[in-house]
Structure 1
Amino acid sequence: MSTSNERIEHDLLGDLPVPNDAYYGVHTLRALVNFPITGIPISTYPNLVNALASVKEAAAMANHDLGVLAEHKMKAIVHACREIRNGTAHDQFVVDVIQGGAGTSTNMNANEVIANLALEHLGHQRGDYALLHPNEDVNLGQSTNDVYPTALKIATYMGIVQLVHAMGVLRHSFERKAEEFRDDLKMGRTQLQDAVPMTLGQEFSTFAVMLGEDEERLTEASKLICEINLGATAIGTGINTSPEYAALACRHLASITGIPVVTSPNLVEATQDVGSFVQLSGVLKRVAIKLSKTCNDLRLLSSGPRAGFGEINLPPVQAGSSIMPGKVNPVIPEVVNQIAFEVIGNDVTVSFAAEAGQLQLNAFEPLIAHSLFKSVAHLRAGCLTLASRCVDGIMANRDRLHALVENSIGIVTALNPYIGYTNATQVAQEALASGRSVAEIVIEKGLLSRAQLDEILQPSMLTQPRQAVVFPPQSIEGDAS
């Protein structure tokens, strides 16, 4: 029984009262009852809502071009879609992100919201579907099976663009620090053991380069998701559409979004294949792994302040302990680590969901979408947070860096060309056993003079390829054998 605050809508299961102030309808209401899964509505992902509106707008324009949709209906649908893309009625996209039905509930939600916005634009009441129908008009020439994956690809492309920008922001932060630290000599490490000298700038430049490489990989992956199956309808055969519809809809969609979408050459294959999502998920995992490794390095280099590496200071952003006064923790790298762990898990989820597809359709695209959207959004937020709340404020502990180089056994490697591997090994062993410096032992043994050591151990000699200095033969005496 309805009230003055409700309207009655009908579907194949019967009648249901729908709140009068709702732009969604009976199909969406069924989905709200059927899928109380995550509590996360699809409106959480505005890129998806805007992508759905873009697809519906393109479809309406193509149908009008073909003479199967009246001009006043087309204009009303287009107006509604543009309102949505400007932020209107996003809160009406209420179905859960995880749903059965291969995205049908999401498509129905979009159809109903757009239809009711269009009806209002035409001066009619919400739910007056005899004048403009969610399925007959908004969904004309379409199926969930081509609308939903196309919208996912548009939304994912939008997200990648935003993520690549955020990665660029973080890369520039590391590049600025690499320049700031370019002359700060330090010890490099392999397997957490002293290796050979490098500069702190070189270390930070690697973080920037890794990000730059992954920006390129993401851009490549975004090209793969530009192939769409709009016009495929149910399984890829294009049933209930004109032969010209797919090309027209694709052309309008490219114009609306600015994304270079193309129609797949084989719509049957494109409707069941989610390989481009698998590829993208793998690239996101790569980004996450490398970003997490970078954060591990930042945590190690800043460990201390007295009992760790202590080579850099991360900016303090909050108290680190409820019991240990003065303690400051590397909370920003830690949160990015956790994002990375989530993304790696999301990739596993995408893999299982992609493998589980059967015959002409993958019914698990909602889970693929939710996993990808989370990965993209959280990586983006992580990159921006790491840049502004951590990297931009990192300081070098130059006295500590200098002391570690002076006392390291690793600088003996630079002396190999001058005193030989055997002598260098003996010096290293003695320095390790005695706690004395390599330089002190080399001078004591007469292997090199102080002046020669100073020339060999210049930062420019230690941190890049250089021709070995040639000393006069008499400057190294027999004790060097």
Structure 2
Amino acid sequence: MDKKVIIEFLKKIELFRGLEPEEFVTLADNITVRDFAAKALLFRENSPRECIFMIYDGEIELFKKTPGGAEVILSIFGRLDFLGEGSLTDDSPHSTSARAKINTTAFCLHKEFFAMHGPIALKIFSNIARVISRRMRQTNARAVSSSAQYESGRTRKEHDLLGDRNVPYEYYYGIQTLRALENFNITGVSLNFYPVLVESLAMVKMAAAKANYELGLLSRSLADAIIRACNEIINGKYIYHFVVDMMQGGAGTSTNMNANEVIANRALEILGYEKGQYQYCHPNNHVNLSQSTNDAYPTAIKIALIQSNEKLVMVLKELIKAIRRKGQEFAHVVKMGRTQLQDAVPMTLGQAFEAYAVTLEEEVERLNENARLFLEVNMGGTAIGTGINAEPEYSPKVIQHLRKITGYEIVLASNLMEATQDTGAFVMYSSAVKRLAVKLSKICNDLRLISSGPRAGLNEINLPPMQPGSTIMPGKVNPVIPEVVNQIAFKVIGNDLTVTMAAEAGQLELNVMEPVIVFSLFESIEMLKNGMDTLNQRCIKGITANEKHCRQMVENSIGLVTALNPYIGYEASSLVATEALQTGRSVYELVLEKKLMTRKELDKVLLPENMITPKVVLFKDV
């Protein structure tokens, strides 16, 4: 690569601010240009720190592995960003790994350069100190995402009605998102925790750009840049630039502006401009054209919830399959049925599990039925449903594009004023989610109870042991998976109440409480999805039956006397049951002793397998 190109590039990097022209020449002479194919590693966690990398073209993702082996993406770097500056100040190994997200060209500067060029090193150290100082201020203010410690330090100045602010250059969001980060550091859960919501925001913005272009409100080049930026986000890029807290004031304005700013800045790059040059592509004037937060935000939420429901139902169906397989596996295992925790009549363990499968099957349709309510949206209603600042033809056009982009049969609400203030669909869907949680919790209550023991409980089934259960009682293993699903259900039930109260809190033409509705619903869906998968993989599939113990309890149960009612009458049956309870003797033994039935008759009636399905029995007819 030509040295002049390298020097001009290096001058744009804050790390080298203040260097003299001849020092840039020296710097360029020591630069190594390296090309990295997609997924190629630049450095690995725990490897020695050796180089500073400056990205000339492409993208690099910084990641770290958890103790369980999962990867956590910390940040994504693009052109003009640098990383690895710790090699100048820290002798410890890399604490993270870095790899090319796409084909990438980077300039590498080995740390030995600084030992040989002291004056240049001092200037660079000074710049690093300034960057670190700014990061510390931001971290202390808790105003940035967890990836802030990996910023390059370069900034751009942006302006809004409250004044000017410096925004980290590598971030695609802008000043309004920065203010939202400062104002709403509430839950620690940002938009990017729910990628489906980010993707849905991009779908809405893409549909709007296409409609605006067709109406002659956007130029072809500007519309294409916005559409391309949206498409990149839909495909998973730039997700870590969606950083505002899920809980926020302003009815979702911060979320909407986070999307507008990221899309605008990426569109600017596509057009050949720098981030922040909003005179060419503006977050409000162009990306948010013909929209308000009050129609774009709820529409994106609804699209995201439809997609999330599909994934939730998919996990639910897998759980149902696993439970039904256990029902088939345990079809021959006779056990005692119980009502009010008292012995009732015999049944099979398979019947119990089949009942669980059937009750959960009902929830598939309930969830899908309520999710269909989200197909009705208010795009084009803008602020309160009057459609101010939107062309009359905008609504049908944007709906048409949304249908093509999402693949869903999205329709325009018949009354946009009503649709803008109504949150009834969220209430209905939340109720369906709660109903699923309640049923799951009941099933887990049963699993905990019938697995109790192993010596002093029911001990009808064995749950797969997951971890030691006590720090003081050796050998104790607890039903930790059903327990965690119970707790998920409690949280989901609480979230449903939150949704209800937030929906009720709407006033006049808008419900400003939608952010907490959104957060509650996505949290419930995520917890249930993970909880059901955990229940399936780490509990249901490994359940075994204690068949002999189950049969012994049936044979010794006083509940068997219920089957004798048609043959010896209710009074005689009650007397036998009472005496069996008082003496500890079996029902079988007492019936023979009192000559109420012959052994042959009794064996036929009391065969447990004959008592688990309906049959017509005439009094004294054996």
TM-score range, shorter chain: over 0.9
1:39 aligns with 2:188: yes
What displacement does 1:454 show?
A: 2.0
TM-score, normalized by length of structure 1? 0.96
Range with bigger deviation, 31-40 or 373-382:
31-40
Find the aligned partners of 2:598 and 2:465 in 1 and give their Cα distance.
Answer: 44
Q: Give the conservation status (yes or no) of the 8 Å contact 1:185–1:405.
A: yes
- Do the aligned partners of residues 49 and 455 (structure 1) sit closer, same or farther apart at CA in structure 2, a change above 3 Å counting? same
Find the aligned partners of 2:401 and 2:168 in 1 and give their Cα distance.
Answer: 34
> Match for residue 426 of structure 2?
277
What displacement does 1:450 show?
A: 2.1
> Match for residue 105 of structure 1?
254
**Larger strand proportion of the pair:** 2
Correspondence 1:366-405 to 2 at 5 A: 366-405=515-554
Which blocks of at least 5 consecutive residues in structure 1 are unaligned?
476-481
Q: Which has the higher contact order (CA 8 A, sep 6+)?
A: 1
Q: Give the conservation status (yes or no) of the 8 Å contact 2:268–2:275.
A: yes
1:206 aligns with 2:206: no
> Match for residue 196 of structure 1?
345
1:246 aligns with 2:398: no
The secondary structure found in structure 2 opposite 1:319 is coil
Equivalent of 1:179 in 307, 328, 342? 328
Find the aligned partners of 1:453 and 1:315 in 2 and give their Cα distance.
Answer: 39
| Deviations, residues 329-355 of structure 1 (Å, cap 9, x unaligned) | 000000000000000100111111111
1:229 aligns with 2:378: yes
1:264 aligns with 2:425: no
> Match for residue 86 of structure 1?
235
Letter in structure 2 aligned against 1:452:
E
Equivalent of 1:336 in 471, 485, 492? 485
Find the aligned partners of 2:383 and 2:484 in 1 and give their Cα distance.
Answer: 42
Q: Give the conservation status (yes or no) of the 8 Å contact 2:568–2:620.
A: no
Correspondence 1:47-66 to 2 at 5 A: 47-66=196-215
What displacement does 1:298 show?
A: 0.3
The secondary structure found in structure 2 opposite 1:225 is helix
Which blocks of at least 5 consecutive residues in structure 2 are unaligned?
1-13, 18-153
What displacement does 1:61 show?
A: 0.7
The secondary structure found in structure 2 opposite 1:54 is helix
Letter in structure 1 aligned against 2:455:
R
1:300 aligns with 2:449: yes
Aligned-residue RMSD, C-alpha:
1.3
Q: Give the conservation status (yes or no) of the 8 Å contact 1:186–1:197.
A: yes
Q: Give the conservation status (yes or no) of the 8 Å contact 2:332–2:348.
A: yes
> Match for residue 478 of structure 1?
none
Letter in structure 2 aligned against 1:285:
K
The secondary structure found in structure 1 opposite 2:442 is helix
> Match for residue 310 of structure 1?
459
The secondary structure found in structure 1 opposite 2:335 is strand
What displacement does 1:29 show?
A: 0.8
Find the aligned partners of 1:167 and 1:380 in 2 and give their Cα distance.
Answer: 8
Range with bigger deviation, 456-465 or 118-127:
456-465
1:325 aligns with 2:460: no
The secondary structure found in structure 2 opposite 1:209 is helix
1:137 aligns with 2:279: no
Letter in structure 2 aligned against 1:298:
L
> Match for residue 126 of structure 1?
275
What displacement does 1:138 show?
A: 0.5
What displacement does 1:394 show?
A: 0.5
Letter in structure 2 aligned against 1:154:
I
Structure showing greater Rg: 2
Letter in structure 2 aligned against 1:322:
T
Letter in structure 2 aligned against 1:378:
M
Equivalent of 1:68 in 185, 192, 217? 217
Percentage identity across paired residues of the two chains = 59
What displacement does 1:28 show?
A: 0.5
What displacement does 1:242 show?
A: 1.4
1:155 aligns with 2:304: yes
Q: Give the conservation status (yes or no) of the 8 Å contact 2:566–2:618.
A: no
Find the aligned partners of 2:609 and 2:550 in 1 and give their Cα distance.
Answer: 16
The secondary structure found in structure 1 opposite 2:310 is helix
Q: Give the conservation status (yes or no) of the 8 Å contact 2:496–2:520.
A: yes
What displacement does 1:117 show?
A: 1.0
